[in-house]
Structure 1
């Protein structure tokens, strides 16, 4: 069977975007270790702290993003999104987060939203204006629904 070049390029592009989305999102939810010197080369950093080099790279500088990914077996698609920033408002189940670049998104929370503060389980009531947060979830239309809202340790 002969492979269509456009199909091959589209597949490689989709795989690359998914990989980039995972590279940015997954490490962004973890705390970078502040005691590691920034001057350590990537090779030595990998030896002393496996996986830390990823958090020190692009993911540690990212402020927000989204990717379209294929859902499980039904073959549909969904938009997954994340944001790192400061809580600028909270009204009921809606939290407004502003990133360092000025982008402000509202996140709807529900019973499935996992809230973590300082590495421990917490309630939405623990989230206050001014908190630095990392939030991730999915977007449907203009509505972003938080799956995880995390307040990292200072």
Structure 2
């Protein structure tokens, strides 16, 4: 549970008020401490319930899709591709593939963007002219595991 200054101040205020109330009642200090701790915990839990986003909101805000982008101009760099896709949503990463031997770009890459924006970007950018080339944009396939060989 994250705590901010307002939560800490509220917890201290509840503890002080609880201490004042319990000081007028003649009960052992260990019991008054336990009651104060329980009441403070309940109060903090109540305060946090309406401020904490639900699990589905958190998952939605952080989910992403990887898109394959093919037929890119060889002179396009990561910044160019990121700016192109940023017009259609949140872009988290861009990776353009290069030839291992020569270091030159191979004309395709991958863009990681928000899953809520990915379908719109595919629709808007697939078969679009960019740098005198027609882009091919689709959702990327899962990488194949070459270590696992199935035998029948």
Normalising to structure 1: TM-score of the pair?
0.24
Relative to its length, the structure with more strand (as a share) is 1
Higher relative contact order (CA 8 A, sep 6+): 2
Relative to its length, the structure with more helix (as a share) is 2
Structure number with bigger Rg: 2
